[in-house]
Amino acid sequence: GVLTFDRLSSVYLTNTHHEEDQPVHLVVKDMALQKRSEHDVYGGPSQRYCPAAVYEWVETEGEASFVINAANCIHCKTCDIKDPNGNIDWAPPQGGEGPTYQAM
């Protein structure tokens, strides 16, 4: 809390808002490709390049599954740019505002 900060606290500070009933704005085109390539070949870089911890690979009974925590999204569009296969589509969320840094 002095030199480094956890991701979710920093996400909270962006003051990004999402409507509860908005359409999904992060879409994986091919989930099999995501597992086969992004996870198996590249080791799941989405967990590391996303500054808001939106993506995670969860191991359940020896099987990895891709989980999207869309409520954490700060609309930086990094996933759309950095996904090795271009398999994640980011769209502006309906009713969502971008970061509003109130202390700046």
Residue 97 token pair: 């505002």
The whole domain housing 31 covers 7-20+27-91
Question: 81 φ, ψ to 5°?
Answer: -90, -45
CATH number of the domain encompassing residue 13: 3.30.70.20
Residue type for 83, please? D
Q: How many domains does the chain have?
A: 1
pLDDT mean across residues, the chain: 83
With a pLDDT cut of 70, the percent of the chain lying above it is 87
Residue 16 placed within a domain: yes
pLDDT tens digit sequence for 47-85: 998 888 899 999 999 899 999 988 888 888 889 898 889
Is the full-model pTM beyond 0.85?
no
Q: What pLDDT is stored for residue 30 in this prediction?
A: 95
Residue 41 placed within a domain: yes
Strands 26-28 and 88-90: antiparallel
One DSSP character per residue, the chain reads --S---HHHHHHHTT----TTPPP-EEES-HHHIIIIIITTT--THHHH-TT--EEEEEETTEEEEEE-GGG--S--HHHHH-TTS-EEE-PPTT------TT-
Residue 72 placed within a domain: yes
Q: Is 16 left (phi over 0), alpha (psi -120 to 50) or beta?
A: beta
